[in-house]
Amino acid sequence: DYYRIDLKYASGQFTEAIAQSDALITKVGANVIRPRIYRLKAYSYFKNGDMANAKASIDEFFKRAKPEEIVPKDYELLGDIFAGTAGSQAQAYGYYEKAMDADTAQDNKASYLDKAVALAKKQGDKPATAYWLDKQYKAKKSPSNVDMYNLGRAFFDAGSTGDFSFYTKSDSVFAVYTEKYPDQAYGYYWRARS
């Protein structure tokens, strides 16, 4: 039954997946059913854009699941739910961080960082953008000059919020930029601005 419901989800029939999940919970009993059915409901509600029910379902999953049943993607989903809920976006960062800490795959960690950076930019939160870009930069094995430039600019932009320590950080990044890329004007220009 669970696999049939999972196929509904996989084929994009999210409303049907939710209805069949509820029917299965009723049939088997809420105290007996495996917690993963609530995870499936959470994903289905999320895909339908129903953040309130997605949150309730993933909360139920976390309440019932054993620690070994929780995977990094569960934290990512919770982060995505908060990111999609007006007024709760700041809570998303903590769950993306939990997903990063729990995941061992570097590609997945990079994906969580991308989501955190995108959310900070979308929110117009310059200090958060600088924070997440810094983490992203440090996580890269061989960051490019564009990565370094973006980090320096993020620190510079965060300085406009009144915390002038960001200008010092920007200057430090662009100092390294001028050493690594002495033929490019960006490092000198943004050090002067900082």
Name the packing angle between helices 126-139 and 145-159 (round to 10°): 160
- Dihedral angle, C-alpha 22, 27, 29, 35, nearest 10 °: -50
Rounded to a whole number of angstroms, the distance between the first and last alpha carbons of the chain is: 61
Q: What is the pLDDT of residues 63-111, one digit of tens each?
A: 999 999 999 999 999 999 999 999 999 999 999 999 999 999 888 999 9
**Token pair for 31:** 């105290």
Helix (H, G, I), strand (E, B) or coil at 12: coil
Q: What was the pLDDT predicted at 187? A: 96
Q: What is the pLDDT of residues 39-63, one digit of tens each?
A: 999 999 999 999 999 999 999 999 9
Q: C-alpha distances in angstroms, 182 versus 69, 149, 151, 172?
A: 51, 13, 18, 15
Residue 10 is classified by DSSP as H
Q: What was the pLDDT predicted at 175? A: 97
**Cβ atoms of 121 and 96 closer than 8 Å:** no
Q: What is the pLDDT of residues 157-181, one digit of tens each?
A: 999 999 999 999 999 999 999 999 9
Q: What was the pLDDT predicted at 151? A: 97
Q: What is the DSSP string of 99-154?
A: HHHH---HHHHHHHHHHHHHHHHHHT-HHHHHHHHHHHHHH-SS--HHHHHHHHHH
The continuous run of DSSP H or E covering 17 comes out as: helix 14-28
**Cβ atoms of 102 and 96 closer than 8 Å:** no
Round to whole Å and give the CA distance between 94 and 71.
15
Q: What is the pLDDT of residues 103-158, one digit of tens each?
A: 998 889 999 999 999 999 999 999 999 999 999 999 988 999 999 999 999 999 99
